[in-house]
Amino acid sequence: MATKQEILKEALKLFAQKGYARTSLEEIAKNVGITKPAIYYHFKNKKHLYNEIFIEYFSNLKFEFKGSLEEDLKAYIDKIAEMFLTNKDLARLFARELVCQGNNLEEETIKEISKTIKYLTKILENTNINPFFIQTLIMSSFTNYLNTLSIREKVSGLINSPKLIKEFDIKNEIYNTVILYIKAHT
């Protein structure tokens, strides 16, 4: 029998490619090499499986305060980077879910994801900066960077600019942008 992790991995891949509505449990089961009823051994239904993907990744984010705004922000961005850069399908799925305004997420999942903004709020507590704005900059920068390679390649060819597809340190770029914004507004 397939393990829960094998099912989650395949489900993430398919949900990221096709979206929630167009992905079936039958297809996930077939790709894992099991029957659809075998999925129910680990998950109540499709929505539960979908939400478990987010819970799996976001519950593994552990934040520690380093002592200064700059250090804490860098550590925060490093954790988010590690999560998305090591799993591009998660970045794609997260972006899909943002577009549909979290319609497929259960309350428990939203609470787990919200721990990121709670931690960021603590980092920014001595500033007038809106943590949601900073969160949006960080999350959307990672997801857009990871989800736009093919369009950047096309545009790069059309305008003859290899800079668009050149690899760069997205983590450092995000940190520098955010810290400059914070310094300019405090």
Q: Where in the chain is the domain with CATH 1.10.10.60?
A: 4-54
The matching CATH number, chosen from 1.10.3230.20, 1.10.10.60, 1.20.1250.20, 3.40.630.30, for 4-54 is 1.10.10.60
Query: Tell me, what's the pLDDT at 161?
Result: 80
Q: Where in the chain is the domain with CATH 1.10.357?
A: 63-184
CA torsion angle 43 45 48 49 (round to 10): 60
- Indicate if the pLDDT at residue 1 is higher than 60: no
Confirm or reject CATH 3.40.1350 for domain 63-184, answering yes or no: no
Report the alpha-carbon angle 96-11-169, nearest 5.
55
Measured between alpha carbons, how far is 33 from 163 in angstroms, rounded to an integer?
42
Q: 49 with 39: CB under 8 angstroms?
A: yes
Q: 177 with 77: CB under 8 angstroms?
A: no
- Indicate if the pLDDT at residue 166 is higher than 90: no
Which tens digits make up the pLDDT trace of 64-77?
998 899 999 999 99
